[in-house]
Structure 1
Amino acid sequence: MQIEADGGSRGNPGPAGYGAVVRDVVTGKVLAERSAGLGTATNNVAEYSGLIAGLQAAIELGATAVEARLDSKLVVEQMSGRWRVKHPQLQPLASEAAALARRLGAVRYEWIPRARNAHADRLANEAMDAQAGRPTRRVAVPATWTGATGHPTRLLLLRHGQTELSAQRRYSGRGDPELTAVGERQASAAAARLSTMGDVRAVVCSPLRRARRTAEVVAGALGTELTIHDGLIEADFGAWEGLTFAQARERDPDLHARWLADTAVAPPGGESMDVVHHRVRRVRDELLAASGGATLVLVSHVTPIKSLLRMALDVGPSLLHRLHLDVASLSIAEFYPDGPASVRLVNDTSYLGTP
């Protein structure tokens, strides 16, 4: 998302107000507006207040990455860490803005000329006019664009770190390999990323060691309780466990082809994708009932995570074979209490760097 924020003071210090706009970064559509009068304040206090209001609105809308545009070079340079915040009035405001930015995870600050900040400038001036008792004209903007109501349950879906089998691209279901050294580093990198994404109520993970170890690192970094849930275990690949795709196809060519084409078909001695999907749906329903409106980290495996993304997108089983999820990748799905859902992120590995 994109934030445009502005603040002004008629006298500096004098009657002050701020305005903030949140837009879809791709379409430019306005998603939220915020403005208010501040009584008597300086221009810089108003500028910071506009940024804080914009960041808060972006959090309410579920943003995980934001581009913040302001025509205050001071605020941009200070929030980017290039200038120190020396004024005692600005220090608590800068700290509040920084805390909100950490909840969002990724915020980039950009200075823009005042002419390109006209919308936020108008809101700030309307707020100052309203504060002075002058009439203003405002158009209400809905808080969301999905039609959903209520506060969603946000699921941060993390695939476990690398194992020897995942590095070799072998079917890895109920086998229980440990993380490699690379996988341990990936778990730490994912934990650092998740620690910037706001309040997490709990970390819930599969009982398998690769997921459990990844979850332990995450829960330790977040200072959050860890719960093991058997329903988040990977699919059972039966006789194909430990085989490559080519080896499984060579072993059971007809069955393998049918398995790829029909989610009701199971590997020899294994579990069908339909069975996994129904199992994961029960887990989702249980978590939504117990933790409605909270943010949860779910550390699991390819098939359960794909199933949750499939539910959020409300699409058919073809997604299972068309969506790629890397080890230690992060995806985000949100489920609203009145039924709608949305996918915010898929297969993000930007925080991993080079193994």
Structure 2
Amino acid sequence: MPRTLIVEADGGSRGNPGPAGYGAVVLDPETGEALAEAAEFLGTATNNVAEYKGLVAGLRAARALDPEARIQVRMDSKLVVEQMSGRWQIKHPDMKPLAAEARAVFPPGQVSYEWIPRAQNKHADRLANEAMDAGRDGKQWEPRNSRAALDTAAAPARSAAARAADEAAEAAEAPEVAEAPAPGWGAPDLGAPATFVLLRHGETALTAQKRFSGSGGTDPELSPAGRRQAEAAGAALAARGTIQAVVSSPLRRCRETAEAVAARLGLEVRLEEGLRETDFGAWEGLTFAEVRERFPDDLDAWLASAAVAPTGGGESFEAVARRVAVARDKLLARHTGRTVLVVTHVTPIKTLVRLALGAPPESLFRMELSAASLSAVAYYADGNASLRLLNDTSHLR
């Protein structure tokens, strides 16, 4: 049975926005022992940003101790607790990427959230103040200089002005509370969802040979077959007439696919760095069989855990999920209620599908995604998502 760890986190801003910092501590629930601490001066930021940064740092510290543990997060920020619990919507563009970072640290369902009074969050509060004090002096917080565990009982209370600023910031977000479902089968009117039409790029020479082709390799161009696939996808999407914007991975095969489709649609292509393919390290350009022959132990470890990176400094699926989630939330904030063509790669598309379904990382190996295939995910204002289409290749026949 997995053990339980408690994460307490806090953030503060002296000015809101102003000099800001966060603190987080991982505790043993049985003994109350502090197992890990984290704190950082953030420069100028709002209180809410600092709170979220503290949450992310605390979750990462807990994961470093035990990635299988059940995590109980305790914070005195009602905003963060309610948003991360799914009871309040997240509309502020600065909050969405941070919430996505927090969700990506542990699998869904492994983390629970609880609001606690400020008086019960003194350890994390003290760490945040230590970080802000260090920043004031032109330094960064160092664990060896921390007295948070010793001085928690005597930690200075925030000023009335600081407390008022915090409460005002949270109150400003309070209208984002998600409405309760209407009685019966009906649901509240959430407006038009943002829909991502996910187009995998057309074939390259490496695609046909089934070789690892990520963001750390040769950046191949589309093959003649891949160009025909891109044209076919463009014709099909133009016939539907629903695409309002085109966003692409910066890698060449995606740019070429996106440009072919965008020309049909009369739209411009916007690049998003977070949509690039996984960096497969030393496996770039190799077939699966060649990787199995040369790096058998590394391959087994990679297949067994999303936290393991390919040989030679590649990128883990866990790291990919974090940046894809951030890119997703940036696009959702920019394209509320619109239909967007997202031209990207196998791993980002599978990751978007996995996150929409709340599926575990191993589901990445259980999806088929053909070159130039279309998938679609709709994102609603209450934070829910709906998979509408997966691996449609009818336009290529």
TM interval, shorter chain, is: 0.5 to 0.7
SS of residue paired to 1:288: helix
| Residue identity matched to 2:387 | V
Does 2:190 correspond to 1:149?
A: yes
* Pairwise CA distance, 1:211: 0.4
Length, aligned pairs only? 212
Q: 362, 365, 386: which is aligned to 1:342? A: 386
Q: Judge conservation of contact 1:162–1:182 (CA < 8 Å) in 2.
A: yes
Match of 2:241 among 198, 203, 220: 198
Of 304, 307, 322, which aligns to 2:351?
A: 307
Q: What do residues 8-57 of structure 1 show as CA deviations (whole Å, max 9, x unaligned)?
A: xxxxxxxxxxxxxxxxxxxxxxxxxxxxxxxxxxxxxxxxxxxxxxxxxx
CA distance, structure 2, for counterparts of residue 145 and residue 187 of structure 1: 40
Which residue identity is paired with 2:192?
H
Give, in whole Å, the separation in 1 of the partners of 2:340 and 2:273: 16
- Counterpart CA distance in 1 for 2:353 and 2:261 is 21
From 244, 252, 260, the counterpart of 1:217: 260
Question: Bigger shift: 328-337 or 309-318?
Answer: 309-318
What stretches of structure 1 move > 4 A for 4+ residues in a row? Answer: 144-148
- Paired residue type of 1:235: T
Residue 395 (structure 2) aligns with: 351
Per-residue Cα deviation, 1:201-234 (whole angstroms, up to 9, x for no partner): 2110011110000000011000012101111100
TM-fit CA distance, 1:199: 3.0
The answer to whether the 8 A contact 1:162-1:179 is kept is yes
**Is 2:374 the counterpart of 1:326?**
no
SS for the counterpart of 1:347 is strand
Which of residues 288, 291, 316 in structure 2 aligns to 1:245?
288
Post-superposition Cα deviations, 1:271-296, rounded to whole Å, max 9, x if no partner, equal 00000001000000001111110000
Alignment-derived partner of residue 283 in structure 1: 327
> d(CA) in 1 for partners of 2:188 and 2:360?
22
Specify the code of the residue in structure 2 equivalent to 1:350: S
CA change 1:146–1:253 in 2 (3 A) is: farther
- Provide the C-alpha distance between the structure 2 equivalents of 1:328 and 1:206, rounded to a whole number of angstroms: 14
Letter in 2 for 1:151: A
SS for the counterpart of 2:375 is: strand
SS in 2 for 1:266: coil
Structure 1 residue 314 displacement after superposition: 1.5
Q: 1:231 to 1:183 in 2, by over 3 A?
A: same
Query: Which digits, 9 at most, give the CA deviation of each residue in 1:249-286, with x for residues without a partner?
Result: 11111110110110000002200000000100000000
Q: In the alignment, is the contact (CA less than 8 A) between 1:153 and 1:294 conserved in 2?
A: yes
Q: RMSD over aligned Cα, in angstroms?
A: 1.8
Partner of 1:256: 299
Q: Equivalent residue of 1:351, what SS? A: helix
Tell me what 1:233 maps to: 276
Cα distance in 2 between the residues matched to 1:192 and 1:145: 37
Give 3-state SS (helix, strand or coil) of 1:265's partner. Answer: coil
Report the alpha carbon displacement of residue 146 of structure 1 after superposing the two structures with TM.
Answer: 7.6
Larger radius of gyration: 1
Normalising to structure 2: TM-score of the pair?
0.52
- Change in Cα spacing, 1:146 to 1:301, as seen in structure 2 (3 Å) is farther
Give the Cα separation in 1 of the matches to 2:281 and 2:338.
36
Give 1:180 shift: 0.6
- Cα pair 1:239 1:270 within 8 Å, conserved: yes
- Take 1:199 and 1:159, find their aligned partners in 2: how far apart are those partners? 18
Consecutive unaligned residues of structure 2, counting only runs of 5 or more, are 1-182
Map of 1:158 onto structure 2: 199
**Aligned equivalents of 2:186 and 2:200: distance in 1?**
29
